[in-house]
Homo-oligomer: A and B are copies of this chain.
Amino acid sequence: MDEFALINRWFTGIGPKLPEVVAGVGDDCALLQLQPGEQLAISVDTSVVDRHFPAQADPWAIGWRALAVALSDLAAMAARPLGFTLAVTLPQVDETWLDAFSQGLRALADQTRCPLIGGDTTRGPLSFSVQVHGAVDAQHVWRRSGARAGDVIALLGPVGLANAGLRSLLEQPERGSSRQQWSLAEQAYMLPRPLIREALRLMQGCRIHAAIDVSDGLLADLQHLLAASALAAELDTESLVLAPELIAQLGEVEALEAALQGGDDYALILALDEQDFDLARNLCPGLQQIGRCVPGAGIRTPQGRVLEPRGYNHFAMTSAGYS
């Protein structure tokens, strides 16, 4: 099978046709059209076999996850998806695998209205780079740097659950091969849901000062937001609502640790004015207040205990793990 046949069979017609996509797959470049007052938001994420997912993982989920982690960055800036590119490196052409992989991509591309608009196909060790493109309203784009002292810190989406799922997939890698038997925690790791719709609803309905998505860990990513905004935070860890499945799997102490330090959930951390919180929670009922921005640096509990982000990063990693 040649490269063009491969693209035609598995990587054409993924996601809806959007009027903003003037040219998609099939010319030297894809072309995107913005509306007046809009800026283009872009983000790229790479997924490498045995680093971000087990080699034997369900290919449907690998496709979903590769796109999901990139789309989460659009959610973190309240960007409306316009399209994604896929640079895929494959060791060989495995038709069954590619069928499932492209269906996983397609499912999320349809759900988030984010079509595939271009890419590159090469042969080599299995990996993908997904780059997403979105339109932001230049007046209402969410930056990390916009938080203010006194802002409520709010969390949308679960934290810790993906980390629990990762632990069980590392312990029993063979469980990864069939998504039908995954626990909620394993689903949280392998099939994260980027909070695009929620972000757009919040952006349109109330005023968010700053946002970031939780990819490295709640403390680590909150610390990025605080550093960009030159602020500290009081984080009320005792009021943090944890998923029952997380507590059941890890016990209360470890569950809280996973929620604070584990990554890969793709929840959203938001900073907003206290008086806007109820409105925001009406728009997104799962929203929980977890703390408050204060002058200074670092993250502390209301009792004054310092919370140190451990987070995850690829080149400091010492233990085995996917992330």
Interface residues of chain A, those whose CB is within 8 Å of chain B, are: 1-6, 22-23, 26-34, 36, 39-46, 48-52, 73-74, 76-77, 79, 85, 87, 89, 93, 117-125, 127, 129, 131, 133-134, 136, 138, 141, 143-145, 211-213, 228, 313-317
Contact = CB atoms under 8 A, between A and B. Distances in A.
Contact of A122 (B29, B52, B136, B212): B52
Contacts of A212: 28
Contact of A79 (B29, B49, B74, B117): B29
Given A30-B41, A118-B44, A313 B87 contact: no
A186 to B, nearest CB: 22
B27 A42 contact: no
Given A46-B89, A87-B46, A129-B46, A41 B29 contact: yes
A29 B74 contact: yes
A137 B1 CA distance: 37
Contacts of A87: 44-46, 87, 129, 131
B32 A119 contact: no
A2 B213 contact: no
A118 B30 contact: no
Contacts of A121: 314-315
Given A29-B42, A43-B118, A129-B44, A315 B89 contact: no
Which 9 A/B pairs are nearest by Cβ-Cβ distance? Answer: A3-B313, A48-B124, A29-B41, A129-B129, A28-B76, A2-B316, A87-B129, A125-B125, A28-B73
Contacts of A89: 46, 48, 127
A110 to B, nearest CB: 21
30 contacts: A1-B315, A1-B316, A2-B313, A2-B316, A5-B315, A22-B39, A22-B138, A23-B143, A27-B77, A27-B144, A29-B41, A29-B73, A29-B74, A29-B77, A31-B39, A31-B40, A33-B39, A34-B34, A36-B36, A43-B118, A44-B85, A44-B118, A44-B129, A45-B87, A45-B120, A48-B122, A48-B125, A51-B122, A120-B129, A125-B125
A28 B131 contact: no
Contacts of A313: 2-4
A34 B74 CA distance: 18
A33 B211 CA distance: 21
B27 A228 contact: yes
Nearest to A215: B28
A177 to B, nearest CB: 21
A43 B29 contact: yes
